[in-house]
Amino acid sequence: MNIREHLLEGHVIPALPLALTRQRRWDERRQKALLRYYMDAGAGGIAVGVHSTQFAIRDKSINLFNPVLELASKEITSWFGNKNKPFIKIAGICGKTRQAVREAELATRLSFQAGLLSLSAWQKESEKEILEHCRNVAREIPLLGFYLQTAVGGRTFSYSFWRKFAEIPELVGIKIAPFNRYQTLDVVRAVCEADRGDVALYTGNDDHIILDLLTPFQFAGKTRHIVGGLLGQWGVGTQKAVQMLQA
């Protein structure tokens, strides 16, 4: 599967919820069932270790990051078998550079094809430092950028940041989720002006999904569309979301 081509086609990519028992223990059987549902519902991929998978799985007292990623990767491979159906496995990548690189290396070993890079740990550093961090992680795994809204731990980045970010060779896509129209435009404009037609744009703006998908964006003499969504919201009603996106 060509990762860039697959993402550019536009897909429904839900975030994987963490399956727990009533005793708040990880439920592997139901975790597998959730994965099968998304695959059978027509999703084009899954994001694991981010959003509704719960960032706390990385805590030493919980220690589920590795087991959840490993189960997801094996179940996806097993479920599709020899079927010729493209499906991208995306791992959430968090923390400062040492942690993020370690998570990217693990994801690569477990056959994940891209890393969705959260920058919520970088609240006070300069944009120059953050860009260097992004480049370091991108050397380990194809990169999906993530513009997270400030209300849940993200930070506001300048247009200049996104323009330089768009030049990272290993960048394959960006999840745009600032819940802000002007900041959304900054990302699209940066990708257009960097002439990165090979970088897929995905919405994470739960407050603006339909209009994000319908709007033609024009910058630098180019017209780009947000082609799909990488959303926790699409973790439910996934089949209907697929039908609507494909309509």
Determine the Cα–Cα distance for residues 76 and 158; give it in Å rounded to an integer.
37
Write down the pTM of the prediction.
0.96
What pLDDT does residue 132 have?
99
Q: Tens digit of pLDDT for each residue in 121-156? A: 999 999 999 999 999 999 999 999 999 999 888 999
Please identify every stretch of the chain with a pLDDT value under 70, giving residue numbers as ranges. Answer: none
The yes or no reply on domain 3-246 and CATH 3.40.50.10860 is: no
Q: Please list, residue by residue across 208-219, b when 16 or more beta carbons sit within 10 angstroms of its beta carbon and e when fewer do.
A: bbeebbebebee
Chain CA centroid to CA 71, Å = 18
All structural domains of the chain with their residue ranges: 3-246
Q: Tens digit of pLDDT for each residue in 196-213? A: 999 999 999 999 999 999
What pLDDT does residue 54 have?
86
